[in-house]
């Protein structure tokens, strides 16, 4: 099993996710709001028009429209309205909504809603964690040579937390098992950077909610035996 020496480089509160809103998103949402004559706009100018269009709506309607764009058909209108009501009551649906696979998208929607209505919608925050991973053997170097899978990242995180952490208490079997599908809802963004030429050391940047990452706050170093999922095949024994 791969092994890594891990050290915490940074744990920082941030107020957005990388690449969460594009010009294409802005145009699609403006189209849904029936705003035209935006073909020549881009970037900050496009965002400014979108924010003004959202401000022309009631906060509840603005919230529903933004959530509908981000969540598509994964959620009903009634559920979207429940999320908006939660936000208006200072809730944190990006951490508390029952379906954790929606958390990152809810967070992204809330970032835009706060920009449009800063005195109405709360400013959402998440955490960015940067870890230095040093592979102790060949298998570990291979894992550092390709984009990190959510299950691998979640197992690294859990190895840095004690058994009382939320991650360990809720997913103890998945963390040591073959598959950890829920990791896709826990790890919002993850990527390696600053990989050494021999592939033995990399910095892993992870974005997720405070709900999942705060248990690593007082940790400096730890050893990890994290691995990717190993889905069952027809050749596996029952």
- CA atoms of 140 and 144, how far apart (whole Å): 6
The pLDDT of residue 219 is above 70:
yes
Distance of CA 97 to the CA centre of its chain: 14
Choose between 199 and 59: higher pLDDT: 59
Q: What confidence score (pLDDT) does residue 36 get?
A: 85
Q: What confidence score (pLDDT) does residue 82 get?
A: 97
107-132 pLDDT, tens digit each: 999 999 999 999 999 999 999 999 99
What's the rounded mean pLDDT across residues 228-232?
86
Work out the pLDDT band at 234, boundaries 50, 70, 90: low
Buried b (16+ CB within 10 A) or exposed e, 42-74: eeeebbebbbebbeebebeebbbbbbbbbbeee
What's the mean per-residue pLDDT of the chain?
A: 94
Q: What confidence score (pLDDT) does residue 108 get?
A: 98
pTM: 0.93
Q: What confidence score (pLDDT) does residue 233 get?
A: 67
């Amino acid at each position: 099993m791969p092994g890594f020496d891990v050290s915490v480089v940074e744990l920082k509160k941030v107020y957005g996710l990388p690449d969460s809103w594009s010009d294409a998103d802005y145009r699609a949402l403006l189209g849904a709001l029936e705003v035209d004559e935006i073909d020549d706009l881009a970037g900050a100018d496009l965002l400014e028009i979108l924010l003004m269009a959202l401000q022309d709506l009631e906060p509840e309607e603005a919230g529903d429209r933004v959530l509908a764009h981000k969540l598509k058909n994964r959620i009903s209108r009634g559920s979207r309205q429940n999320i908006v009501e939660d936000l208006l009551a200072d809730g944190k649906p990006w951490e508390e909504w029952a379906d954790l696979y929606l958390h990152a998208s809810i967070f992204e929607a809330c970032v835009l809603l706060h920009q449009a209505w800063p005195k109405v919608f709360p400013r959402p925050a998440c955490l960015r964690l940067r870890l230095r991973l040093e592979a102790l053997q060949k298998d570990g170097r291979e894992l550092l040579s390709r984009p990190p899978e959510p299950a691998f990242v979640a197992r690294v995180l859990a190895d840095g937390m004690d058994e009382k952490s939320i991650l360990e208490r809720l997913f103890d079997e998945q963390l040591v098992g073959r598959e950890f599908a829920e990791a896709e809802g826990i790890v919002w963004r993850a990527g390696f950077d600053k990989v050494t030429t021999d592939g033995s050391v990399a910095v892993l940047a992870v974005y997720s909610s405070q709900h999942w990452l705060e248990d690593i706050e007082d940790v400096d170093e730890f050893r990890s035996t994290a691995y990717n999922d190993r889905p069952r095949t027809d050749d596996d024994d029952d």
